[in-house]
Amino acid sequence: MSIKSLDDLLSEGVSGRGVLVRSDLNVPLDESGTVTDPGRIIASVPTLKALSDAGAKVVVTAHLGRPKGEPDPKYSLAPVAAALGDRLARHVQLAGDVVGSDALARAEGLTDGDVLLLENVRFDARETSKDDAERLAFAKALVELVGEDGAFVSDGFGVVHRKQASVYDVATLLPHYAGTLVDAEVKVLEQLTSSTERPYAVVLGGSKVSDKLAVIENLATKADSLIIGGGMCFTFLAAQGLPVGSSLLEEGMVDTCRTLLDTYADVLHLPVDIVVAEKFAADATPETVAADRIPDGKMGLDIGPESVKRFTALLSNAKTVFWNGPMGVFEFPAFAAGTKGVAEAIIAATGRGAFSVVGGGDSAAAVRQLGLPEDGFSHISTGGGASLEYLEGKTLPGIHVLEN
């Protein structure tokens, strides 16, 4: 697979040229519109800074949330533009539209090194259209902003599994390159899939089995141990015939989980104790019970201390670790110990020389919120869905289109 890199573009020269960059700036905001976790903004800076410093006229496309194909002030990129400007230590203009008159006027007025962020690309319904012609028409409007001698840099790894105009179609219209972020992510995932050093441990959390079914099926054949926590463990416990109280349960997946447990009994590992409460709330009273003793009317919100010990033992000799999804409701301090304990076990394995990858926004957010060292892991991915689909063996449209 041959993909041109940002270094290739820089060596060709970008001074005075328009460069369209697809970044992933889909960050969480609080009710006041303040960025609460700038991880993806920070990850986008190296590519944008390199282009700006080299004199490119940089036009950035990105999305925020899921607006319904039309402008919605709640999903404006205004707070992101301000935060990005702080990180770049330069003014970042925000266009008042996506490909309208304001975007065109601002793009035409760019001087060498300027950075222009277009308004939320999903404010235009053509971005996510299933109609190829509609997406292509929108892509052409985006390309018009950087001119005929422009280039496209794909740096939003969190969206490369989507066949969308700003991710896929623009790459068919311009010379295209992988930004530093996408380049690094692909190299890491190739290492996870092709030259995996054993023992290989996978830790999966999060709420739904259905979201992770394909990756469980794929990795169960490759990993030496596959640890399951988070909300989805209760569907597995129910598949064993155990009571799960009012815990999160996907009843339609119970039979599937039973088959997985039968097929991969020596690989799959479930919690042995659970932290339960009467309600889903930060002030709920935690109680630790055995995994086969969850009381009626109580819900599991974290894995218990014995589970952390068991999972730590499984991770202690791992040479490769992939972690996607928290072990519990880490946002509530009373239910954060499971996620923190497993994360610390992965950090310890990394310290002993293991190659560890954290995939998924929730896991990355947990690392930061729980005060864990980001450099305690070999790599923290910015794209959960993209990482999972790559590990499932799927072709990622936004990567495939970059191949030469």
Q: Could you list the residues known to form a binding site for ATP, using ranges.
A: 212, 300, 331, 360-363
For residue 45, the one-letter residue type is V
Distances (CA, A) of 52 to 15, 17, 57, 66, 102: 9, 11, 7, 29, 21
Annotated binding site: 24-26, 40, 63-66, 122, 162, 212, 300, 331, 360-363
Write a three-state SS string for the chain: CCECEHHHHHHHCCCCCEEEEECCCCCCECCCCCECCCHHHHHHHHHHHHHHHCCCEEEEECCCCCCCCCCCHHHCCHHHHHHHHHHHCCCEEECCCCCCHHHHHHHHCCCCCCEEECCCHHHCHHHHCCCHHHHHHHHHHHHHCCCCCCEEEECCHHHCCCCCCCCCHHHHCCCEEECHHHHHHHHHHHHHHHCCCCCEEEEECCCCHHHHHHHHHHHCCCCCEEEECCCCHHHHHHHCCCCCCCCCCCHHHHHHHHHHHHHCCCCEECCCEEEEECCCCCCCCCEEEECCCCCCCCEEEEECHHHHHHHHHHHCCCCEEEEECCCCCCCCHHHCHHHHHHHHHHHHHHHCCCEEEECCHHHHHHHHHCCCCHHHCCEECCCHHHHHHHHCCCCCHHHHCCEC
Per the annotation, the verdict on 68 as an active-site residue is: no
Of the candidates 40, 57, 126, 340, the residue annotated as catalytic is: 40
Is residue 208 annotated as part of the catalytic site, yes or no? Answer: yes
Catalytic residue among 328, 361, 376, 398: 361
**Catalytic-labelled residue, pool 229, 325, 385, 398:** 385
Binding residues for (2R)-3-phosphoglycerate: 40, 122, 162
Asked if 385 is an active-site residue, the reply is yes
* Active-site choice (87, 208, 222, 319): 208
Which amino acid, residue 43? Answer: A
299 Cβ contact list (under 8 Å, min separation 6): 245, 246, 247, 248, 276, 277, 278, 279, 280
Amino acid at 255: D
* CA 291 – CA 392 distance, rounded (Å): 29
Binding residues for substrate are 24-26, 40, 63-66, 122, 162
**Catalytic annotation present for 140:** no
| Separation of alpha carbons 204 and 210, rounded Å | 12
Which active-site residues does the annotation give? 40, 208, 361, 385
